[in-house]
Structure 1
Amino acid sequence: MDYLKGRKVLLSAALSVFLIGPLSAEGVSLSQLQTGLDTVWVLLAAFLVFFMQAGFGMVEAGFIRSKNATNILTKNFLDFCMASIGFFVFGYALMFGTGSAFAGFSGFFMIDAKSGADVPLWAFWLFQAAFCGAAATIVAGGMAERMKFKAYLVYSFLISAFIYPIVGHWVWGGGWLSSLNFADFAGSAVVHTTGGVAALIGTIILKPRTGKYRPDGTVKMISGHNIPLASLGVFILWFGWFGFNPGSTLSVGDGSLISLVAINTNLAAAAGGILAMIMVWAITGKPDLSMALNGALAGLVAITAPCAFVSPWSSILIGAVGGVMVVLASLLLDKLKIDDPVGAFPVHGVNGIWGTLAVGLFGRQALGLSSEGLFFGGGFKVLGVQSLGVFSIAAFVLVAMGTIFIIIDKTIGLRASLEEEYLGLDIGEHGLESYSGFQIVE
């Protein structure tokens, strides 16, 4: 064993000389190597977050009817296109430019823009643009199966270019919430509350799918057409979240923070999936896979804000509560006759708020929070700031996106015709079926 250990030491030394020696000879410093490593890490995380678009697309397509699958996938695809252009032209400047406590006002069209981290500007921009796209695409699921495509394109550009970046500036761009030490490590509030609340107000204005709520008050179950596809989507999202949360460190460091964030992310997702399944099993008598899938996503959303500030045991509790809340919120929406086909608001809105508040309950000062959370003797100080921040964000998005949706509805129209809804938006909007020769009309 000592012989093998000795060989490993010699091999490590040889590799160090081989790899670092030539770099030093070329004038590359250790700080430059660190920057290069951090840049690769941020870009890798950006690629993983980009891949989450595929996950969102699979989940949303699987949870709706086959006659609308092409439509939802087209919206999902164009979300990232719109986010990329809108965030490049306007969004980055509003989010990270210098300006006021409300928004930035420098760096439009990326002219003279500055990086918000110790990595090159374009790496930082790509990572942030991927986040922007994720926030925009959350809304597609909540308004699925009855929203006009051209209206959706207008919405997608506006939230990516203006609404999301303003919220981001408040928290990550040096805005007013940042000055209060509001903590949202990877976006429970900035990304998920923004997207979830926008989905809620959008679906309220859009009104339910035809036939969803009967005159006698009963609810018609409109089942998704492809649960295996939705399951694949959730696995992709879970995988992509390892870029979403650990990538928000924006540097490799010594690896300890990345490791903590990664395990917290995984444990919360697992706990959310288990508790959602148990909850729906107790209520309906059946362990519903679709609700378990949304439970895992709820856990992921909930841990996104506190993932760097809590212990693994706390992350299990946070994810478990998220799994319970997504079931209760879904049932409540049906009682209120708010039709959210994929559970966008229960998953992202409700658990975005919960995850943000959880920082104030479970957060630890030893892990970088400004002070201890309520459950660790810190009182209500952090919880108060978290509450102020997340409800301010929710109120802003509710008013801003509500106004945008109403204006769209009064001008180009928000909802597809009754005939298009009946035949499916794939044919009515795109003239293209997802499954050629196989069409289900309900």
Structure 2
Amino acid sequence: MTVASPASRRRPRSLQEASLLEAPELLLRKVRGLSSNRTLTWLACVPIALMGLGLFNLAAHAAELPELNAGFLANNMFLFVCAVLVIFMNAGFAMVEAGMCRQKNAVNILAKNLIVFALAVTAYWFIGYKIMYNADWVIPGWFKFGGLFFDPTVTPEMVTDGSLVPSIDFLFQAAFAGTAATIVSGLVAERIKFGEFVIFSLVLVGILYPISGSWQWNFPDDAGLGGGWLSTLGFIDFAGSTVVHSFGAWAGLVGAMLLGPRIGKFVDGKTQAMPGHNLAIATLGCLILWIGWYGFNPGSWLAMGPEVPYIAVTTTLGAAGGGIAATLLSQFTGGKPDLTMTINGILAGLVGVTAGCDGFSMPAAWVVGFISGILVVFSVAWIDGLKIDDPVGAFSVHGTCGIWATLAVGLFNVDKGLFTGHGFSQLGIQIVGVLAYAIFAVVSSFIVWSIIGAIFGGIRVSEKEEVEGLDIGEHGMEAYPDFASAK
């Protein structure tokens, strides 16, 4: 019996001639243009668009709403995409931290960064969002509370005005809250107990961060009433250099000081290098964070407007300036360009421009980023000199440069900066804000860390677990089981 080869078989010309397996392919080919890769790419966007429209219609609970207008859809879809970008930054934080730490602790670092967002969303949904935004002032300007959860109802006014639906606003703000807790992870890496870190993250995101965040991001009404005390004062922190980054850095610094340095970090008063195990992953993480920042900063405009692309450009220039400065300075001080400093320089530039990216000129954004890159190199050495062990330079990136970013608004802001001819007033207000967040973060986090340590017998793993690696001691597994561990 002769069997025809697949190439010699006649293709069916009509659906009537096709078998059950051949019919779907033939039907798709009958649709003109589906053989084009570009067409297929555009068609792949259809389910995404339909999903977006479905989310908004579902959120309306089939209420009697006016027709969804273009402004309403554009603003909400824009912020949804930005929220996803900020959430994706968790992957970048995980990769930077894991890559810059030792192989024996990789699983622990990845687990912390993964669970912290799940914890952040839960705590922020349960109570944090209500404290920060969606409640009445108990102490005007200082503390809000009004129950748990939030009301996701979409009103006709939201549609008519093109406002954000509560669910989209919550998702975006929850992503920011998770970022604050992730910064803490970097400072306490390689020696903290997993469970104790989880508890601290819950308290930070559910209570501490929302309280301080409400001071700035509850804006006064037209009569100047109802805002947080810093917002009413005139403090400016557009996307959170202090509200998010410095706050998380101060909380983590307290934890790092209470934990003490890793075994072998400081010997006979000298700092010992503990190189990261995978700089390729750390570099990829840096690029992911850079991309995610286009959700962080432009998304903070909270609407799709002509200001958004400008903010994206100033964000890019800040990152570029920071990366260039840190690379050059590491070349001058160490004789060769240091990749870890390039990574931290880019991140420092991003943090540095975040507070004022909507109000900086483009040259000012680059200069602010460049100075951030210089500061981060000196800050890493300064923190080591204080015998504080910061494994990935998290305080230098988010704390030092977060402070600089906030002060830079008082210097370079087009409408209120000292260097743009508007006096010292705004700079003074910025200093007050920096000090307020630093004091609150240090005091509150010290209390929380101390209580957790007292209840659970300390927050640091045993010496044996630290030497063996937290992957085995805390999780009973290794990140690279097929390779010999590099202790």
Using the size of structure 2 for normalisation, the TM-score is 0.81
Match of 1:232 in 2: 284
Runs of 4+ more than 4 Å apart: 27-31, 111-117
What is the distance in 2 between the residues matched to 1:307 and 1:299?
Answer: 11
Partner amino acid, structure 1, of 2:141: A
Note the residue ranges of structure 2 that are not aligned, 5 or more in a row: 1-63, 219-226
Residue 203 (structure 1) aligns with: 256
Deviation, structure 1 residue 440: 2.4
- 2:189 maps to 144
Contact 1:422 1:441 in 2 (8 A): no
Distance 1:179 1:106 in 2: 21
Give matches, 1:18-37, under 5 Å. Answer: 32-37=69-74
2:162 paired with 1:108: no
* SS in structure 2 of the partner of residue 46 of structure 1: helix
Which residue type is aligned with residue 123 of structure 1? I
What's the offset of the Cα at 1:297?
0.1
Task: Give a deviation string over 1:378-437, Cα, whole Å, max 9, x none.
Answer: 111111111101110011001000111111122212000001100100000000110013
Q: Distance in 1 between matches of 2:251 and 2:341?
A: 22
Partner Cα separation in structure 1 for residue 153 and residue 129 of structure 2: 8
Query: What is the one-letter code of the residue matched to 2:74?
Result: L
Q: Specify which of 67, 74, 85 is matched with residue 122 of structure 2.
A: 85
Shift of residue 167 of structure 1? 1.3
Q: Which residue of 2 aligns with 1:160?
A: 205
SS of the residue 1:177 aligns to: helix
The answer to whether the 8 A contact 2:91-2:285 is kept is: yes
Cα distance between partner residues in 1 of 2:446 and 2:330: 32
User: For residue 258 of structure 1, what is the amino acid of its counterpart?
Assistant: V
Q: Deviations over 1:259-305 (max 9, x none)?
A: 11000000000110110011111111110001110000000001011
Q: How does 1:13-412 map to 2 (within 5 A)?
A: 32-96=69-133, 97-99=135-137, 100-111=140-151, 118-173=163-218, 174-214=227-267, 216-253=268-305, 255=306, 257-365=307-415, 372-412=416-456
State the AA in 2 paired with 1:63.
Answer: M
Which amino acid in structure 2 is aligned with residue 32 of structure 1? N
* CA displacement at 1:111 relative to structure 2: 4.7
Following TM superposition, by how much is the alpha carbon of 1:248 offset from its aligned partner in structure 2, in angstroms?
0.6
Q: Does the residue aligned with 2:277 lie in a helix, a strand or coil?
A: coil
**Residue deviations 1:208-240, cap 9 Å, x none?**
0011100x2111110000000000000000000
Residue 32 and residue 107 in structure 1: after superposition, are their counterparts in 2 closer, same or farther (change >3 A)? Answer: farther
Structure 1 position 199, deviation (Å): 1.4
1:432 aligns with 2:477: yes
Task: Please state whether the residue corresponding to 1:110 is helix, strand or coil.
Answer: coil
Structure 1 vs Structure 2 CA RMSD: 1.8
CA distance in 1 between partners of 2:270 and 2:74 (Å): 57
CA distance in 1, matches of 2:483, 2:83: 37
For residues 411-430 of structure 1, what are the structure 2 equivalents within 5 Å? 411-412=455-456, 413-430=458-475
Q: Could you tell me how far apart the structure 2 residues matched to 1:315 and 1:384 are?
A: 21
Return the alpha-carbon distance in structure 2 between the equivalents of residues 244 and 105 of structure 1: 26
Distance across 2 between alignment mates of 1:384 and 1:58: 38
SS at match of 1:403: helix
Whole-angstrom CA distance in 2 between matches of 1:331 and 1:112: 47
Q: Could you state the TM-score of these two structures normalised by the residue count of structure 1?
A: 0.89
Query: In proportion to residue count, which structure has more helix?
Result: 1
On the 8 A contact 2:152/2:167 being kept in 1, the answer is no
State, as a whole percentage, how many aligned pairs show the same letter: 46
Instruction: State the secondary structure of the residue aligned to 2:272.
Output: coil
What CA distance in whole angstroms lies between the structure 2 residues aligned with 1:50 and 1:339? 27
Once residues 297 and 333 of structure 2 are traced to their aligned partners in structure 1, the CA distance between those partners, rounded to angstroms, is 32
| TM-aligned CA deviation for residue 29 of structure 1 | 7.2
Secondary structure of 1:275's aligned partner? helix
Counterpart Cα distance in 1 of 2:439 and 2:67 = 46
From the superposition, tell whether residues 114 and 219 of structure 1 become closer, same or farther in structure 2 (CA, over 3 Å): farther
Q: Secondary structure at the residue paired with 1:108? A: coil
The 2-side partners of 1:171 and 1:206 are apart by 31
Identify unmatched segments of 5+ residues in structure 1: 1-26, 366-371
Q: Write out per-residue CA displacement over residues 299-358 of structure 1, whole angstroms, 9 at most, x where no aligned residue.
A: 000101100011110001100010000000000011111000001100000111110111
Is the contact between residue 152 and residue 165 of structure 2 (CA under 8 Å) also seen in structure 1?
A: no
The farther-off stretch of 108-117 and 229-238 is 108-117
Q: Distance in 2 between matches of 1:383 and 1:325?
A: 19
The SS at the match of 2:402 is helix
Counterpart secondary structure, 1:382 = helix
Q: CA deviation at 1:106?
A: 2.2
Quick one: distance in 2 between partners of 1:152 and 1:275? 34
Q: 1:90: how far off?
A: 0.9
What CA deviation, in whole Å up to 9, does each residue of 1:186-224 have, x standing for no partner?
00011101111111111011100011100x211111000
Counterpart contact for 2:152–2:166, Cα < 8 Å = no
